[in-house]
Structure 1
Amino acid sequence: MTLTIFILLTLIAAYGFWLLFEKAGRQGWEGIVPFYSQWVQARILGKPAWHVALLVVPIVNVFVFYNLYLDFIHCFGKRRFWENCAAVLVPFIVLPLWGRDKNVKFLNGLYTKNLKAGKTDGKELTKAHELTILHDSYQEYRTKYPYKKSMVREWADAIVFATVAATLIRGFLLEAFMIPSGSMQQSLLIGDYLFVSKLNYGPRVPNTPIAFPFAHHTMPLFGGKAFSELIELPYKRLPGFQEIKRNDVIVFNAPAGDTVAVENQDIPYYDLVRMMGRDAVHQQFTIQTRPVDKREHLIKRCVGMPGDKISMQEGVLFVNDQPGFVAPESQMDYMVATDEAGIDEQRLKDMGIEAALVQPGLYKIFLTPSQASMVKSWSNVKAMQMNLEKPGVAQVNTFPNDPQYQWNYDNFGPFVIPRKGMTVPLNAQSLPLYGRAIQVYEHNLLEKKADGYYLNGHKTNSYTFNMDYYWMMGDNRHNSLDARDWGFVPEDHIVGKALFTWMSWNADGRGLSKVRWNRIFKGIH
């Protein structure tokens, strides 16, 4: 539904820009073709050609785009601040209105006058000649109705406006993300570029409002923190369109990302401490803490809701004692034995299948159920078995990382996901499961003394949660760092709902096959 609304509003805005281009004496379609539209605008406005080339440079392209776009809007007399804001924030409203308003004229009619003068030689008007007349008319317009700003001031205004507009859009409406890892294969692929909606679940008010624009937690080029903790606001979420639903694909801040080893951020800090020891980690790495909204972004499927009973038995997820949802494109890894000829690894790669040679004639391959059936049918495959951990055998870095729970990624639980208002007893069995949520996520001082447990200085034998929590897992069950490592995801870590892929780039492809054309504007389910 959200994707449909987004596409509809985009089409309405494009229709409005089509009408404005027609008012400017151009073909309407020219206004909605990426890059070509900006090239025409640059020619009209007398901007150098390298402006258009900058549209491929990340971050810089935002400022260039808005500079061209707003200057073009100014050609219709729309110079007021609120008109500029409306053109950026609600183009699907104002562009069609301006396009259909007979009183809104391009360059106040100067173009029409000069166009007629350009035809007096009796020759057919070429596109190049037309662009020249447009440009000359723009210069005459600037002379007749001069801006009271220097070029530096114009650019400064455009940069400030673009920064504020883009920050508001990214913070409260939509944000683009890229899939860097294979934890959601094959549902989402490495190189998929997504749009994530902040509106569905309600946008969060930033915890750290003082931050460098367009950077998340680290300054580009120079390194170091891209945010200031001088002002820290409490968690607050604005109203959204919907509640989180079981099996939604969600972007969220890493729960274990409150502390990071800067030189080795691929492995959670707490995993490093368990592997190397705290002293060794602090001696070898630079340790940095981050507020909630500046922790690393992750994308997983929400398989468990607040209050759900979760367990996993021999690789099968159970939710409230019923088999959980399995995405059709979810993967597991298999040990595949072949004859001496082996498997054509390039063939697998072309099919988007990950494979690793364990020893001659033995491969570890990540497959969806349909892919597993296909590979099993190949004549040179002799044996094939899903690679599962045995029950009761503890696996390193498996939640809750406590000796009394001999759990692994394929066998764990059961336990109940905390929900707001749920009360749990405080004892040796519950603390490994819920202790981090009580102390870190809900900011309580929990102490064990000789006569019992103390919460913020008061003796108690139970705790009632103040937030809802969720259980997030990757569809690629054996190649995903997820809740099985770091546990519950608090509601204040939720960023937004993944809507659709707007671009997909295959780094292993060749030529035009580098773009996965079948994934462009593909919805995420």
Structure 2
Amino acid sequence: MNLAFWKNNKDKQPKKKKSVAREWLDAGIFAIIAATLIRTFIFEAYTIPTPSMEKTLLVNDFLFVSKISYGPRIPMTPLAVPFVHHTMPFTKNTPAFSEAVQWKYRRLPGFTDIKRYDVVVFNFPEGDTVALDQPDPSYYRLVRLYGWSQVNNTYKIIHRPVDKTENYIKRCMAEAGDTISIVHGQVFVNGQAAPVPPGSQHNYVVEISEPLNPTRLDDLGISGPFQTINANTFEYNLTPAQAEALKQFPVVKNIHMAEDENINALFDMNDIFPHDTIHHRWTDENFGPLYIPKKGATVKLDDSNISLYDRVIRVYEGNTLERKDGKFIINGQPTDSYTFKMNYYWMMGDNRNNSLDSRYWGFVPEDHVVGKAWMIWMSYGEGGIRWSRLFRTIK
């Protein structure tokens, strides 16, 4: 690779021909630099690992994530192995980055801001899960993410730099400045019922007078049931369209959205953000109202809401916070209010009863946002390539 291409060849000497090895080396270096720039500033490939977004997105959907939509984020941990996220391939916990250099959060201008109902890829805000040899109390929360069959009690939470934590994908249900609530599974934003994504799923209790025809269920794309309540009552995970179709079956006596009858009953209120059952006895189906922090906005602090914003103040925005003599002390100064430095977002999976999302770990800060899910470029399942999903834009 000629790094002095601007210099004139005064003696008009013939250029020395590069060896084949040198040409391959130059081409390799150029490819690595170009691919790294594209991956950092334009788009990045991402694979759906869990069913939390079904059936909007399926396991083994391969996506392009647009970084220019919201503006590319300048790397905060710049010393890293190219094309590797946080761990070296074929190793268990060997870091693929160095924390010797850490840059402040900065983002280049993008085409748009994060909007309600966008499908967004972001760095997990609560810490990563890794396999260990000792039990950890986070076991039951991991079940929500990975499923019963894939989780044992040998996990713990570790902490990496913001841009090196695991990538998650969810739908933004509320943006900075919104107030969100959930009533019997229905999401409300600023007092208005939020639209239900057509591909979203929810657990439904289905009561029947005689067995359902499995062929007709297959035609509707319905699998299961995943739980039997009694001889004539079952739980299915359904999209809104599937639930409406089942209602038309003559053998279906009753169908309604499940709440306490389903797997959620296994998880008590301590698992639900903000993990404060004295002031907020919320569940994943009945939640809020909750204000989503907005940059420059100020909230009054008291015993009833400090658990909501404690992590924002201490962890995401880097302040000290303590309670002394009945007063809140932030950075050594007594105060009864706080002004936010960043915008925050509320992310939820479309597969509402099978998603570890903001209902469990709270807000997603703007510095954790990677980009906007753009297009499915490859997808495969048990039957091979899902041709109908290829090159489908994500909504």
The number of aligned residues is 368
Equivalent residues in 2 for 1:66-77, closer than 5 Å = none
Specify the alignment match of 2:70 in structure 1. 201
The corresponding residue for 2:359 is 484
User: 1:385 matched to which residue of 2?
Assistant: 256
Find the aligned partners of 2:251 and 2:307 in 1 and give their Cα distance. Answer: 48
Moved more, 339-348 or 366-375: 339-348
Render the CA deviation track for 1:120-172: whole Å, top value 9, x for unaligned: xxxxxxxxxxxxxxxxxxxxxxxx99742342x33333332222221111111
Counting only pairs closer than 5 Å after superposition, residues 349-498 of structure 1 correspond to structure 2 as: 351=221, 353=223, 355-358=225-228, 360-389=231-260, 395-403=269-277, 404-498=279-373
Q: How far 1:260 sits from its partner (Å)?
A: 3.5
Q: Per-residue deviation at 1:357?
A: 4.0
1:217: how far off? Answer: 1.3
Report the Cα offset of residue 311 of structure 1: 0.7
Structure with bigger helix share is 1
Contact 1:303 1:325 in 2 (8 A): no
Deviation at 1:323, TM superposition (A): 0.7
Q: Which residue of 1 aligns with 2:149?
A: none
One of 456, 478, 499 as aligned partner of 2:374: 499
What's the counterpart of residue 158 of structure 1?
27
Read off the aligned partner of 1:238 and give its amino acid letter. L
Match status 1:176 vs 2:50: no
Seen in structure 2, the aligned counterparts of structure 1 residues 182 and 307 have a Cα distance that, compared at 3 Å, is: same
Using a 3 Å threshold, how does the CA distance of structure 1 residues 217 and 480 change in structure 2: closer, same or farther? Answer: same
Q: Counterpart in 2 of 1:122?
A: none
Deviation at 1:177, TM superposition (A): 0.8
Q: Is the 8 A contact 2:77 2:98 kept in 1?
A: yes
Structure-2 change in CA distance of 1:241 and 1:380 (3 Å): same
What RMSD, in angstroms, separates the aligned Cα atoms of the two structures? 3.0
**1:445 aligned partner, one-letter code:** T
What pairs with 1:83-102 in structure 2 (closer than 5 Å)? none
- How much does 1:291 deviate? 0.7
- Whether the 8 Å contact between 2:270 and 2:276 is mirrored in structure 1 is no
> Structure 1 215/355 Cα, relative in aligned 2: closer, same or farther at 3 Å?
farther
Decide which of 258, 269, 289 is 2:159's aligned counterpart.
289
Name stretches of at least 5 consecutive residues in structure 1 with no aligned partner. Answer: 1-78, 84-143, 274-282
Provide the C-alpha distance between the structure 1 equivalents of 2:220 and 2:2, rounded to a whole number of angstroms: 53
2:197 aligned to 327, 335, 354, which one? 327
Question: 2: CA distance between counterparts of 1:220 and 1:361?
Answer: 49
Q: Alpha-carbon deviation of 1:338?
A: 3.7
Task: Determine which structure has greater relative contact order: mean sequence separation of CA pairs < 8 Å that are 6+ residues apart, divided by chain length.
Answer: 2
1:214 maps to which of 67, 72, 83: 83
Equivalent-residue separation in structure 1 for 2:64 and 2:163 (angstroms): 18
**Deviations 1:215-246, CA, capped at 9 Å, x for gaps:** 11111102321111111111010111111111
> Structure 1 residue 284: deviation in Å?
5.8
> In structure 2, what is the Cα distance between the partners aligned to 1:293 and 1:446?
25
Percent identity (aligned): 47
Give 1:82 deviation, angstroms.
Answer: 11
- The TM-score with structure 2 as length reference comes to 0.84
Higher alpha-carbon Rg: 1
Provide the C-alpha distance between the structure 2 equivalents of 1:148 and 1:289, rounded to a whole number of angstroms.
47
Determine the C-alpha separation between the residues in 1 that align with 2:109 and 2:182.
34
Q: Does 1:247 align with 2:247?
A: no
SS in 2 for 1:300: strand
Q: Which string of whole-angstrom CA distances, capped at 9 and with x for unpartnered residues, describes residues 426-482 of structure 1?
A: 221121111111111001110111241111111111111000011111112111111
Note closer, same or farther for the CA distance 1:381–1:202 as it changes in structure 2 (3 Å cut).
same
Structure with the largest fraction of strand = 2
Per-residue CA shift, 1:233-274, capped at 9, x if unaligned? 1101011111111111111111112x544449xx9959769x
1:167 aligns with 36
Contact 1:256 1:269 in 2 (8 A): no
1-structure distance, mates of 2:219, 2:362: 33
CA distance in 2, matches of 1:349, 1:207: 48
Q: 1:239 to 1:437 in 2, by over 3 A?
A: same
Distance 1:245 1:168 in 2: 26
Q: Distance in 2 between matches of 1:327 and 1:469?
A: 22
Measured after TM superposition, the shift of residue 409 of structure 1 is 0.8
Shift in alpha-carbon separation, 1:313–1:347, aligned structure 2, 3 A: closer
Distance 1:256 1:263 in 2: 18
Structure 1 range deviating more: 479-488 or 325-334: 325-334
